[in-house]
Every structure is written in C-alpha cells, then in structure tokens.
Structure 1
Amino acid sequence: MRKRPEDVAALIKDVPGNQLSASETAILQKAVAAALRNTVWQYTAMLEKFAGVTGAEKQVNKAIELFKLQKETGSTAYDDPAVVQEFIHAVSPLIHKNPGFNNYKTDRLNREERAAAGIDISRRQYNKLFRCLRLLEKKLNILIREHQKSFFQRTGKHAFAEDISLEDFKTDIHSACFIAYYTARCNMRSEFTVNGQTRPYDEIADMLFKRCKEHAQSANWWAIAQVYPQVEVLEKLTGDQQGRLLGKWTSLLQQVAVFLETLWTQHDFNRATMVVKIGNDSTTWNNTAGAWNKARDSWLNLLYALGMEFVLEEMCFGKAMRLIAADVAAWHYLQGTKADPNLLVWNRLPLPWDVFSGKAACNRATVQAACKAAGLDAEKSGWIAPRPHGVVPFKPTPELVHGVAISNPYLAKILKQHKYFSGKNIQPLFPGQN
C-alpha cells in the first residue's frame, strides 16, 4: 500500500494503549490534522497503492480454449510467473514442445514427426498451438521483468518493509508505529522541483523513533532494521541478524547490478549530464537506480556496524545517478544552480555495476580522490561512509500530477485525466480549446 503519512498518523493516534505525552501528541497532530478524514475534501487523487503488474490470465485462457482444456474453478489470475511457468510446462508436452525452444524453423515438428508422436491434428492447427505457447512464453518473460521492476521500485522506497511478518510487526506497539509512519514517508512520490526532495525522516518519525529507544528492551529492532537500517539500529541486532541482513542487501545489490547493466546497454544515456533524451526509459532507470542507492547505503551501514569497513579498501562501488528531466535541468540553469557535485564524482568513477561484478577496480582511495576533485566531503556525502541525516519539519503530502503539485485533489484528478504535465498530447479541458 501507499497510504499518505497523514492517514497513518491518524491510525497511530487511534491505537489503544499508545500513551503519548502532551508534547508528542502536539507533534503527531501536525500530520493528523491533514489526514483525509479531517479535511474538507476527504479525497485524494493519488493512488494509494503501487502500480500492479498485468498478469497472463488473457493468454492462459486463450491457451485453455485452443488446447480444449478444462478450466479450473476459482482459478488464479495468473499474476505469479511461477504459476504461469508451471502451466506452460504442463501444456507443452501435449504437442511435444520443449519449453524455451520457440524457433519456427528448427523447433516445430514436421508431418512425420507429428505422426510418430501421435499428434493427430492438421498442420495449421499444430502451428496455431505452437504459436500460442510461443506467445505465452514471451508473455512470461515480460511478466518476470515487470515483477522485477516493481520489486525494485518498492524496495527503493521502503527497503524490506514487505519482509516484516505480521507476528514481528505486532510484538511492540512503539516499533509498529515508527515502521508504519516511516514507511509511509519513504513511499512519498518525487515532486517536480529544484529545491530537493522531501526527506522521509521528519519530526514525527523522529519522535516515534525516540519512543522506540525509550522502550529499547521491548522494541523489535530486527523489524525496524528492515526499513531503517541505520548504524544505531544495526548495533542493537545480534551477530546472526546482522549477517543475515548483510546477505539480503548484498543479494539485492547483485540483482540490481545485473538489471542496471542491461538498462545501460539498451539505452543511449548521456552519462555526462544524465539529462533524459527521447527514447530513454527514465521511470525504470530512476526506480532501479533508487533501489541500488538504497541497497548501497544499507550495505555500507552494515559494514560499519560489523566493523568490516576494511572491505572498502578493496572494493568501493559508487552511487547510481538518476536521470533528470530536461525542463528541470533548464530550470536549474535559469536559476544559476551549479552542477551537482555528485554527478562529477559519478563521471570520474567506473560504472558501479562493473565494480561490483569485478569487471573494473575501484576502492576507497579512488572514491575519495573523485570526491575531492568535485569539492565533496566523501564521508558526509555518503560515498564511503554511512550518510548522516537530520530531522526535517513535517510537510503535508502534496497532490501531484506527474510530479507537479496541485492544490485541489479534484482538479488534480481532472488534469491527470486530460494528460496535463505528462509530456503527451493534452486533451483540452473545454471543447474547442487550443
């Protein structure tokens, strides 16, 4: 889910037994006052869940029809790639087709081979069934890729929040409140601005985290570490828990590295500026780069918590820079904003996925030199050490239409329907409007 932080704050206020002091209540009330139930509109144009992945139900149903199979009652929507793959492996033997072998010239059976296999259907019907399975396998590959993209997007926002079991979540009320609110803050969308994005750790998150520290004996630090893997949290874990978490983040880095390298080779990105060009899939790149940076930060935090920062002397891969829209870049230029020093470091270092895979060499000294040349503090900027963060004031969640803040949620809905700010052909709000 992608609930607004204000609405999560309202739920926190309603939790029985969650005794807040007067000062804590005043801090929480800043968000509660802006909850949907307390506003005039009581409506948001923002989707309250992450975009789903279209399954293969249509393709599977067509295969069931062509192969004249019995459709299972209460059957799945075939959103899960594993279920679709199982279906393909069950149906392919009916025409003696090997899954994954889809070449029309070499992998289809000729008339003699079909007769020998006992396939008593016409050539045309056989080709139709072969083509059906071929298209279903193509859909499966798309489904796997889309699920991976969705996973990277969600993980880049709220880390491993989805791995927290209900049992762990319910063990401590203070931990649960912090996890719920901080996750909602992390899930906020990026805004079209040159002033920097709103940081998730605000004064309410800080207040809720301090309550966890006040009740440190009962707090579920393992659950908190899934969404907030800061050194002071990681130090409260057992050695086994720290090792498991390091393994999870390293595995994620490996998955993201492969995906980033594929995207990099498929698109003609301008590495020097990272300004979007026509044909660049900026959404997928930025979501995946976000997952890389989240995983990288968490990996660094764990190295320092475990006293293993010596690893950086051998391998220290950099951040992945996000793409920037051309109009935002122009906005920066008009305001006289200097180039992002992180971009200068990015251009001086080997590509991070090449370093992670061992194709290129880069260590702490290399990164320090690049940061020094760019005028950056290598440690405070998060290039070679855990990145420190402060506490930002609470800021109400804006209604956004493709990143542009709109004051009225109903107006936001209308503008979105008419494709305003989307970069596509606008549909006039009024007939005859140019």
Structure 2
Amino acid sequence: MPSPAFEQFLRELHASLTLRKRPEDVARLIQDLYAAQGSGLDAATEAALAKAAANSLRNLWHGYTSMQEEFARPVGAQRQLARAASLFTSVPDLPDDAGDDPAQIEAVIRRAGEEIGRAYGQNDFGLDRFNRAERRAADLGEISKRQYNKRFRLLRRMEAKLARLIHEQRLREVTITGKGALAHALPYELFATDPDTAAFIAYITARGYMRSVFTNGRQRQVYDEVAEALLQRLRKRPERTCWYAVAHVHPTAEVLAHVSDQDLTQLLIRWNGFLRQVAAVLEDAWNRQPLERNTMIVRRGNDSSTWNQAAQAWNTARAHWFALLTELGQDEILDRICPGKVPRLMAADVAYWHRVSGGGLHPDTYVWAELPLPWEVLRGEKECPRSLIEAVCARHRVDPIAGAWTAPRPSIEAVAYRRTPELVHGVAVADPLMASALRSAGVFSGKDKRAAAQEWT
C-alpha cells in the first residue's frame, strides 16, 4: 500500500504535466517520490537526478525564478457572467470556474437571450434589436428601451468574448502540445500505473516545456542524460512499464514496439485530428497576412507568435504521426500524402546574426518554400507525395531521411545535462532578481518600457 507522501508526490508530478516547472524542480520531485517509495535507486539514476536536483529552487539560496511556472491562461468571462446574473433573472450566480467553460457561457447567453426575445447569433445592433412595437409584441413592455439595449449589448459582447476565449484556449492547447506532445492529456490513472513511467514522462515533459533561447545556433535538445537514466530504468523492467503512456511523449521505435496495435491506432487517430486543428491555425495566420516563404523572416504585420507556436505543434504532431504510421506498417500512406515540415518565422536581427557569423538560411527553408502548403495537402487540394519531397530535397542537397522529411526522426543520443537558465525574452540572465527587473523594464523586448507580461514561448 503506497504511503500518503508517495501518493502526494505522484500527484504533484502529474500536475506538472500542465505546468511549466523547471526540469531541476521536477528532478527534485522525482527524488522525493523514490524516497517515499522506499526503493533504492541504481547509482546511475541517483547521480543523474542529483546533478539536476542540485539546481532546484528548494536547493538554491534564493529559491526563486523570475519565469512563469505555468502557461499563460486566457482571461475567462467571470466578469461578464456576474453582470449577466445581475441583469437577467434566469441567470444564477455561477462559480468562478464557469467563466472558463465555453459550454456554460454559451448556455447562459442562450438562456438570457430568451428573456429579451433574442436568438443566439443575432448580433446586428441595427437589424436584430426590437423596436417598441416588437418589444410589446414579445411581452417586453415593462423593460425600457435603455434597459433592453443594455441587455442586448451585453449578450453581443458575451458572444464576442466567447469566440475569443475559444480561440485563445485552442492556441494554448496548441502551444502546450507543440512543446510537450500529449503529456497534458494523460489521465492520472494511466500516468500513475508505474512510478518509473511517471518519473520519465514528467522529466521529459519538463524538458520539452523549456523556453527557446535567443541564439544563432541550435536550441537545447530535450533528451539529456537524466532522461536517459530514467529511460534505462524502464528498459530494465519492461513488463512493469506503461509503454502506451510513454508513447504519448516519446515515440521512438523502441518505445512503440512495446505498444499494441490497438493503442497505436488510438494515438494515430488523435494525432490525425490534431494535425487538422493545427493546420487550421496555420491557415488562419497565413490568410491574415501571407509570409515571406523564401526567407521566413518576419515582416511588419506578421503574427509571429501564433505562427511559431502552431509551426512547432505541427512539427511535433507530424513527427508522432510518421512514427506511428511506420510502427503500424502503414508508411506507404506517405507515398501518396506526405505533408512537409513547417519552419518557424525568424526575427530580422537573428537572420542578420546568422549572416555575419558565416551562416545563412537553413536548407529546410528552401524545401518548405517549394512544397504545397500543409492545409492544402490535408484537404486534398494539392498533392504532396513522398516522391515530390525527395525530389525537392535532392535539389537543395537535403537528406530527406536524416532531416525527417520523409521518415520518422532518427534516433538521438542523450546530451549532457545543463542548468536551465533564467531568460528575459530569450536572453540568458544569471540572477533571477535582476531578470525580473529587466523584464519589467522591457529590456530585450524590442518595445517601450512596460509592465512584465506572461510569456507564451
């Protein structure tokens, strides 16, 4: 029977899948989990965890990080619901969490609309409002024109707020999935099947959630020596490992080989749906202002934040989709439909940095520029078979397999653990207190001085 402390640490690890804790703090939680379990750790895992946990907030003298430890949440409709409850007799006082639930918000709008004879979606202030005769006919004669207009305007604003909330919640899910795959969707019962499984998933997810660094080189690799040590424990006891849960975040051939075809198919269906969802986000950003495809350098008016979040999510989903198709023996599908990767937009100063340091555009940019757009491929409007990508890659001297253009990502070697830096708009700062001051002053943001804001990327 697990102890209460063990259960508590396991639940904290599960909660970290939707937060943005530093990998060092997750490593410390994993240490606590194993200590509460009472089972000894092998020397390699103990040393790897100790190296990371030494830099956890609990082990640092200041115990503070300037970076948000959760992904920014959309502002809910709590204020609008409270106002609706004061104006409409059919709307009760609702708990605070109702303001984050689109279904409850829509139900309130519909219920309140019935009081003034307004149907959901009737938002035209000139055409959809009742005049005096129509108010009398609808038995609304006791409500003055002013009071009727006040209620009509509120419901119109609530519908607009609902649309924004749904859009922002979708973007938040896109951001989280792009960095941590399906970890945030793992139910506790599946996550907690085995403590070794839980430890690996929690740590690799925390590594995936790390912020991007302002650099002209490669970003830090997710899979490090700590993750390797934790995965080694799963290899030693494969019969106890919940490989299906691991496949949600780490779809290597080694992991997927342990998962049943039925579970692999379930994951494939989920990633199919998510690819279409992300493609819609990419298309929306593209339609608002097409990008400079040949360089992928940001121009004035480009929504680079939305594009980059969606691009990362697309590439993550595509990598899982490729790996699952291959494991299921269905990779012949790629001979007919092989949507390409989507590059992130690059700031002009970073592009200049690349040039002056002897670099240039990434070769993948040239391949992307010649391929059909992803949403066109998914809708069947344009063809993008594997042979087309191979031909374009050959033209630009890109290896389509090593570059994961036509095959799953190649296996990777674990990198050495490095301490997570304090970042201010992507720039590393040694002291977290100084980082807070710099962020509040707007340093490195490229904008005028303003208050500190929650970071999405």
Q: What TM-score range do you get, normalising by the shorter chain?
A: over 0.9
Give the structure 2 partner of residue 178 of structure 1: 200
Q: Which residue pairs with 1:81 in the alignment?
A: 102
- Alpha-carbon contact 1:18-1:173 (below 8 Å) kept: no
Deviation at 1:73, TM superposition (A): 6.3
Distance 2:118 2:423 in 1: 49
Deviations 1:39-98 (A, max 9, x none): 232211111111111001112222222335664264545111111111111111011111
Matched, 1:370 2:392: yes
Question: Which residue identity lines up with residue 281 of structure 1 in the other structure?
Answer: D
Which blocks of at least 5 consecutive residues in structure 2 are unaligned? 1-18, 452-457
Q: For residue 312 of structure 1, what is the aligned residue in structure 2?
A: 334
Comparing 98-107 and 72-81, the one that deviates more: 72-81
Note if contact 2:283-2:375 (Cα within 8 Å) is conserved in structure 1: yes
CA distance in 1, matches of 2:245, 2:277: 23
**Which of the numbers 183, 188, 202 marks the counterpart of 2:224?**
202
**Counterparts of 1:209 and 1:234, CA distance in 2:** 14
Instruction: Please tell me whether the aligned partners of residues 363 and 398 of structure 2 are also in contact (alpha carbons under 8 angstroms).
Output: yes
1:13 aligned onto 2:31:
yes
2:358 corresponds to 1:340: no
One-letter amino acid matched to 1:44? T
- In the alignment, does 2:80 pair up with 1:59? yes
In the alignment, what sits opposite 1:225?
247
User: How many residues matched?
Assistant: 428
Q: Does 1:2 align with 2:28?
A: no
Partner of 1:247: 269
Asked if the contact 2:82/2:93 (under 8 Å) is kept, the reply is: no
RMSD: 1.6
Give the superposition deviation at 1:223: 0.9
Asked whether 1:357 is paired with 2:379, we answer yes
CA distance in 2, matches of 1:357, 1:21: 51
Secondary structure (helix, strand or coil) at the match of 2:167 reads helix
2:447 corresponding residue in structure 1:
424
- Alpha-carbon distance between aligned partners in 2 of 1:174 and 1:415, rounded to the nearest angstrom: 40
Q: CA deviation at 1:124?
A: 2.6
| Paired position in structure 1 for 2:131 | 110
Select between 249-258 and 57-66 the one with higher mean Cα deviation: 57-66
2:219 and 2:345 map into 1 onto residues whose CA distance is 14
- Tell me, what secondary structure is at the counterpart of 2:313? helix
Partner residue in 2 for 1:432: none
**Structure 2 residue corresponding to 1:402, chosen from 405, 418, 425:** 425
Distance in 1 (alpha carbons) for counterparts of 2:226 and 2:275: 30
Point out where structure 1 has 5 or more consecutive residues left out of the alignment.
429-434
Residues 235 and 23 of structure 1: CA distance in aligned 2, closer, same or farther (over 3 Å): closer
245-254 or 97-106: bigger deviation: 97-106
Is the deviation greater in 158-167 or in 22-31? 22-31
| Distance 1:373-1:18 versus aligned 2 partners, 3 A rule | farther
Identify if the C-alpha distance between structure 1 residues 427 and 140 changes in structure 2 by more than 3 Å, giving closer, same or farther. Answer: closer
Residues 183-332 of structure 1: pairs in structure 2 closer than 5 A? 183-332=205-354
Report which stretch shifted further, 152-161 or 162-171.
Answer: 162-171
| Counterpart Cα distance in 2 of 1:106 and 1:11 | 59
Q: How do 1:86-165 and structure 2 match up within 5 A?
A: 86-120=107-141, 121-165=143-187
Residue 428 of structure 2 aligns to a residue whose secondary structure is: strand
Q: Greater shift after overlay, 246-255 or 77-86?
A: 77-86
Determine the C-alpha separation between the residues in 2 that align with 1:34 and 1:155.
26
TM-score normalised according to structure 1 size: 0.95
SS in 2 for 1:78: helix
TM-score normalised by L of structure 2: 0.91
> Is the 2:99–2:105 Cα contact (8 Å) retained in structure 1?
yes
Cα distance, 1:203 vs. partner?
A: 0.9
Q: 1:6 touches 1:34 (CA, 8 Å); kept in 2?
A: yes
Aligned-pair identity (%)? 44
Cα 1:427–1:261 shift into 2, 3 Å:
closer
Name 1:431's counterpart in structure 2: none
- State how far apart, in whole Å, the 2-side matches of 1:154 and 1:8 are: 17
Separation in 1, partners of 2:322, 2:39 = 34
Q: Quick one: distance in 2 between partners of 1:113 and 1:217?
A: 71
Q: Report deviation, 1:335.
A: 0.2
* 1:169 corresponds to which of 172, 187, 191: 191
Counterpart CA distance in 1 for 2:450 and 2:287 is 35
Q: Tell me, yes or no, if the aligned pair for 1:202 and 1:391 is still in contact at 8 Å.
A: yes
Larger mean CA deviation between 31-40 and 20-29 belongs to 20-29
Which runs of structure 2 are paired with 1:374-389 in the superposition (5 Å)? 374-388=396-410, 389=412
Deviates more, 1:361-370 or 1:388-397: 388-397
Paired with 1:276 and 1:198, the residues of 2 have a C-alpha distance of 23
Task: Confirm or deny: 8 A CA contact 1:175 1:212 kept in the other structure.
Answer: yes
Q: Return the offset for 1:390.
A: 2.2
Aligned to 1:48: 69
Moved more, 205-214 or 58-67: 58-67
Structure-2 separation of matches of 1:302 and 1:426: 47
